[in-house]
């Protein structure tokens, strides 16, 4: 890597961190909400997780790229995040399945990154000051820090951003057909469900099939009545996916969920889908200080009488007080054991069959403690 490949991470309050650029260096600058990710492995899954759209992600594990990149660890068709910040880039990966280095992968995806950064200091910065807009820049020769800060401040906040409009379900359906064919799955034995795509991960679709479902994917933020092939009567239940951005502004998605929820058929929401399901019920959402991003979030689940360690990736959360006001008697709830934020709820009665979790039961990356959620969803049918 050329010694003159100087780069800098600039926060909206003027805080800066220097390092060396890698990936698509030609981009010269990129903007996004700065967050940190605490998983110790699974960087490729994180890079291709659509929930990171519009964010610059600081990876806390010090070494990055050790096992390269391969096709089987993709969680979507491409990288969605705006930039990457790491402590140490491994340029010579060791893994029999690797087809390229992470540097080559970022170049192919036109994504800029920064290495040699004091990532512990970046994490402290975000934890103390909260997630805020930042930019990665090639070190400018004749530009002051004040000018870079002005560029960062001109960028929109994550609050109020609808980032799910490009997710149309097409890529998800391609993945489903490929997976079913490659694994010789008997589709006649599967329960047909409709999936609303707000930025779905491949492993969610994979786990739904393994749990006994045949998912057909539709655009989440387009009125279902206008989408070719959709009919409520064609499906036994509905699933609402993860995704990026502010859930409160995805109005068509919330309307879709409300309509499907009122059919009385089983519904499961994950992450952004969970937040919008709560909004469809009449609850409220709010922005967390720095979000939950990683594979080590403890969730207390009273109805299972256990604490599970979960994979999470979200910057917004459901306001639990408002949720309890709009859910029927007998509803069950889950909370984060660290900050007591809402992590899930269940409303099972004569009118509704709703399961909803903030965490990612499919993991990728992360622990598999919560994989039971898919079996519990199947039990509702």
Query: Residue 175: which of 241, 87, 124, 238 has the closest Cα?
Result: 241
* Whether 55 and 203 share a structural domain: no
Q: What is the CA radius of gyration of the chain?
A: 21
* Whether 185 and 274 share a structural domain: yes
Task: Classify residue 65 by its DSSP letter.
Answer: -
Q: What pLDDT does residue 239 have?
A: 98
* Whether 203 and 348 share a structural domain: yes
* Gap between the Cα atoms of 35 and 315, Å rounded: 9
Q: What pLDDT does residue 1 have?
A: 41
Catalytic residue positions, numbered: 271, 360, 362
* Gap between the Cα atoms of 244 and 312, Å rounded: 12
* Gap between the Cα atoms of 294 and 296, Å rounded: 6
CATH code: domain of residue 238: 3.40.50.880
* Whether 177 and 285 share a structural domain: yes
Instruction: Report helix, strand and coil shares of the chain as percent, to nearest 5.
Output: 30, 30, 40
Q: Which of 111, 128, 153 is the last residue of a domain?
A: 153
φ, ψ for residue 83 (rounded to 5)?
Answer: -175, 165
The answer as to whether 136 is a domain residue is: yes
* Gap between the Cα atoms of 194 and 171, Å rounded: 15
**Ranges under pLDDT 50 in the chain:** 1-2
Give the residue numbers spanning the domain of 271: 170-378
The answer as to whether 162 is a domain residue is: no
In the three-class reduction of DSSP (H, G, I as helix; E, B as strand; rest coil), residue 82 is classed as coil
Task: Bin 340: left if φ > 0, else alpha if -120 < ψ < 50, else beta.
Answer: left
Helices (H), strands (E): how many in the chain?
Answer: 10, 18
Q: Which of 93, 120, 153 is the last residue of a domain?
A: 153
* Gap between the Cα atoms of 270 and 355, Å rounded: 9
Structure tokens that stand for 278 in this block: 């709560």
Count structural domains, the chain: 2
With a CB cutoff of 8 Å and minimum separation 6, the contacts of 339 are none
| Tokens 């492993």 sit on residue | 203
The answer as to whether 165 is a domain residue is: no
Q: Are 190 and 214 in contact (CB under 8 A)?
A: yes
The answer as to whether 315 is a domain residue is: yes
Cis status of the peptide bond prior to 163, with omega within 30 of 0: no
| Tokens 């045949």 sit on residue | 214
Angstrom CA distances, 122 to 23, 50, 181, 349, stand at 20, 23, 45, 46
* Whether 333 and 201 share a structural domain: yes
The answer as to whether 163 is a domain residue is: no
CATH code: domain of residue 52: 3.50.30.20
Q: Look at the chain and count its residues.
A: 381
* Whether 268 and 329 share a structural domain: yes
Q: Give 219-230 as a DSSP string.
A: ETTS-GGGSTT-
* Whether 34 and 100 share a structural domain: yes
| pLDDT tens per residue across span 1-25 | 445 789 999 999 999 999 999 999 9
Number of Cβ atoms within 10 Å of the Cβ of 262:
12
The answer as to whether 164 is a domain residue is: no
Buried b (16+ CB within 10 A) or exposed e, 220-258: bbbebeeeeebeeeebebbbbbbbbbbbbebebbbebbe
* Whether 233 and 367 share a structural domain: yes
Angstrom CA distances, 186 to 179, 207, 214, 229, stand at 12, 15, 10, 22
* Whether 95 and 177 share a structural domain: no
Structure tokens that stand for 246 in this block: 């502010």
* Gap between the Cα atoms of 229 and 249, Å rounded: 26
* Whether 100 and 221 share a structural domain: no
The answer as to whether 160 is a domain residue is: no
Cα 345 from chain centroid? 19
Q: What pLDDT does residue 2 have?
A: 42
The answer as to whether 222 is a domain residue is: yes
Number of Cβ atoms within 10 Å of the Cβ of 346:
20
E strands, 14-124, are 16-23, 29-37, 55-59, 63-64, 83-85, 88-89, 112-115
* Whether 354 and 231 share a structural domain: yes
* Whether 185 and 254 share a structural domain: yes
Q: Which of 94, 121, 153 is the last residue of a domain?
A: 153
């Amino acid at each position: 890597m050329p010694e003159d490949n100087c780069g800098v991470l600039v926060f909206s309050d003027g805080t800066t961190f220097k390092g060396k650029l890698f990936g698509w260096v030609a981009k010269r600058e990129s903007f996004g909400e700065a967050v940190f990710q605490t998983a110790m492995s699974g960087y490729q899954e994180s890079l291709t997780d659509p929930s990171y759209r519009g964010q610059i992600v600081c990876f806390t594990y010090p070494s990055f790229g050790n096992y390269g990149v391969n096709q089987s660890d993709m969680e979507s068709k491409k990288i969605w995040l705006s930039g990457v910040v790491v402590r140490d880039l491994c340029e010579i990966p060791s893994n029999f399945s690797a087809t390229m280095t992470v540097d080559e992968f970022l170049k192919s995806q036109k994504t800029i990154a920064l290495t040699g950064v004091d990532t512990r200091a970046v994490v402290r910065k975000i934890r103390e000051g909260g997630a805020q807009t930042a930019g990665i820049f090639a070190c400018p020769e004749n530009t002051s820090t004040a000018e870079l800060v002005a560029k960062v401040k001109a960028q929109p906040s994550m609050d109020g951003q609808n980032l799910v409009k490009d997710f149309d379900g097409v890529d998800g359906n391609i993945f489903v057909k490929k997976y079913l064919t490659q694994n010789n799955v008997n589709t006649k034995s599967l329960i047909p469900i409709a999936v609303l795509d707000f930025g779905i991960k491949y492993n969610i679709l994979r786990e739904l099939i393994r749990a006994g479902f045949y998912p057909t994917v539709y655009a989440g933020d387009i009125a279902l009545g206008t989408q070719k092939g959709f009919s409520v009567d064609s499906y036994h239940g509905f699933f609402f996916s993860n995704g990026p951005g502010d859930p409160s502004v995805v109005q068509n998605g919330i309307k879709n969920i409300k309509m499907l929820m009122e059919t009385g058929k089983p519904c499961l929401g994950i992450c952004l889908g969970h937040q919008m399901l709560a909004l469809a019920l009449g609850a409220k959402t709010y922005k967390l200080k720095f979000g939950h991003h990683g594979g080590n979030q403890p969730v207390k689940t009273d109805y299972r009488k256990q604490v599970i360690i979960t994979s999470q990736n979200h910057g917004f959360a459901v306001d639990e007080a408002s949720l309890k006001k709009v859910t029927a008697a007998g509803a069950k709830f889950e909370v984060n054991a660290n900050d007591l934020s809402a992590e899930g709820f269940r409303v099972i009665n004569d009118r509704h069959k709703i399961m909803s979790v903030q965490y990612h039961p499919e993991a990728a990356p992360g622990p598999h403690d919560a994989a039971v959620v898919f079996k519990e969803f199947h039990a509702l049918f």
